[in-house]
């Protein structure tokens, strides 16, 4: 299975992702970690472009081919990045894909999270609230599971995602 967590910074993707990884004994592919590593590699500097996502897709595909469940954590702000994950799932026979958009509908809470968090990647610069609200994030048009962390806890979010996985398995669904 491939679970893709998408959404603006500070909505709770990483917190949910880490909980899912523990619960499912899954591989964890975090775009922030990959992009941070690339930025510190000679020749990339601040302009990693789509390279971070390309590496994330490859790492996820590699794990899926080995039969490992994968939790992917990234903003996925544009249809192209979302389609990239779908292509990964389609390329590996039998992979179930769950796309999750993580939102925080309470703007004050979202801002508090963004402004109050500490980096969990050494040397990583966290986004500011101004950068989050001005982020180029194309609204979704595709079906997905929406998890609103303003109204559900981390454990409830994990349970919702697991319920989606069970429903897909019962229906024999794989990736689109």
> Does the residue 16 lie in any domain?
no
Asked whether residue 175 carries a pLDDT value surpassing 60, the answer given is no
Q: CATH number of the domain that 43 lies in?
A: 3.40.50.300
> Does the residue 13 lie in any domain?
no
> Does the residue 17 lie in any domain?
no
The pLDDT, as a whole number, for residue 150 is 97
Residue percentage of the chain with pLDDT more than 70: 95
- What is the number of domains present in the chain? 1
> Does the residue 3 lie in any domain?
no
Domain residue limits at 69: 22-153+161-171
Residue percentage of the chain with pLDDT more than 90: 73
Residue 39's pLDDT band, with cuts at 50, 70 and 90, is confident
**What is the spatial distance between Cα 126 and Cα 4, in angstroms, rounded to a whole number?**
21
Residue pair 6/73 in contact by the 8 Å Cβ criterion? no
> Does the residue 83 lie in any domain?
yes
The stretch 48-57 carries a mean pLDDT of 87
> Does the residue 147 lie in any domain?
yes
pLDDT 10s digits, 94-139? 899 999 999 999 999 999 999 999 888 887 888 899 999 999 999 9
The stretch 71-82 carries a mean pLDDT of 96
Average pLDDT, the chain: 91
DSSP 84-102: HHHHHHHHSTT--EEEEEE
> Does the residue 176 lie in any domain?
no
**What is the spatial distance between Cα 22 and Cα 77, in angstroms, rounded to a whole number?**
26
Asked whether residue 81 carries a pLDDT value surpassing 70, the answer given is yes
Asked whether residue 174 carries a pLDDT value surpassing 80, the answer given is no
The stretch 4-13 carries a mean pLDDT of 97
The pLDDT, as a whole number, for residue 46 is 67
Residue pair 53/81 in contact by the 8 Å Cβ criterion? yes
The stretch 136-149 carries a mean pLDDT of 95
> Does the residue 90 lie in any domain?
yes
Asked whether residue 176 carries a pLDDT value surpassing 50, the answer given is no
């Amino acid at each position: 299975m491939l679970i893709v967590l998408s959404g603006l910074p500070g909505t709770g993707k990483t917190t949910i992702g880490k909980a899912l990884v523990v619960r499912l004994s899954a591989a964890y592919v975090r775009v922030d970690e990959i992009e941070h590593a690339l930025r510190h590699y000679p020749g990339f500097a601040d302009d990693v472009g789509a390279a971070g996502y390309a590496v994330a897709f490859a790492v996820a595909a590699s794990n899926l081919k080995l039969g490992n469940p994968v939790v992917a954590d990234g903003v996925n702000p544009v249809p192209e990045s979302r389609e990239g994950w779908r292509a990964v799932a389609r390329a590996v026979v039998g992979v179930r894909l769950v796309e999750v958009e993580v939102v925080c509908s309470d703007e004050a809470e979202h801002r508090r999270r963004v402004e109050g968090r500490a980096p969990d990647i050494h040397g990583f610069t966290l986004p500011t609230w101004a950068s989050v609200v001005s982020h180029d994030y194309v609204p979704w048009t595709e079906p997905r599971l929406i998890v609103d962390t303003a109204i559900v806890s981390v454990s409830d979010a994990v349970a919702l995602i697991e319920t989606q996985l069970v429903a897909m398995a019962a229906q024999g669904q794989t990736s689109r």
